[in-house]
Structure 1
């Protein structure tokens, strides 16, 4: 299998809770490394040591966290993750696979918490100095099924997962609206499909992006 080199590529995975983002990130990581590519896997919140502390605070703390504070915690985690991990990896020419990014904040805090989608997007862009993904994979799932998956896997829900159905319906609708507004960036996949079927759709989109960046190189 030949080694392929490429410029840095930033790929994010979005979707409701229980959509299978972690599984797809792992499958794509294995595939790309098998092609000889350097891959960085990170997540939000929790992609850095600071992020781990912020993740514990925002998702598992028993203390009250008001919506605006919640949004700022996510923005702080995002700023640190991009500056210390993502941007350096992209500058080295690596492929970055990230579990959640600014679209999650737009959906969960902007719409779910009703803080305003535009305001939350602007906050994230300021925090990251305007970094946007090259590809965003949206794993779409009905919130009821997603919650059932999470409960079966972990036996409990974090602060955001435990919000009511209306909250999660707003989140899902916002994700789909974002994808419709930016079809060149988003790949929307039915998260109820078999993991290997989803993975094949994701690989096809990523392969196309790599081929466009380096049209003279083989895909394997």
Structure 2
């Protein structure tokens, strides 16, 4: 703290050290307040004062009981997202907050495609490769590359030399491999080839852009 005045303040002598401050909170009470604040923000700042015809007070009461069942901040975000979803408005979401994690967390990765386990062909069949606006090539699926020549219908038989069918889901074979080089063995018409890709850390925006491309 420093005295008010016209002269230049010497903040180094007046700085308060907050590093030792600790606060005790009740997570459930905190989450309920966060839920209420999120509801209020939409009520007060949503562009349509009629709330798209939604009874906003009723929605508050509808989802409030779920807050009492929440056990993590992620679950609270899910409840708030469902609440906001009642407005049927684009560009509204709930994420972030006090998300706790530890060094045991496993980072998921994505090949930017939908696959199906194909026992007959010895791997995972590529059913669909996500498409994005060609004006944004840095957002496209790692498999959507003409130099790789990967097509829907091709089968991934190995991941880093390991048989793809050794796992119940291909995602298990690329976990913790986001943005790292991964070798895939691709089969087409009984011929195989190896390619190198870098799986993406999140396919949320891929799915989002794919939907916009399809409807746009």
Greater C-alpha radius of gyration: 2
Relative contact order (alpha carbons < 8 A, sep ≥ 6): 1 or 2 greater? 1
Q: Give the structure-1-normalised TM-score.
A: 0.25
* Larger helix fraction of residues: 1
- TM-score between both structures, scaled by the size of structure 2: 0.26
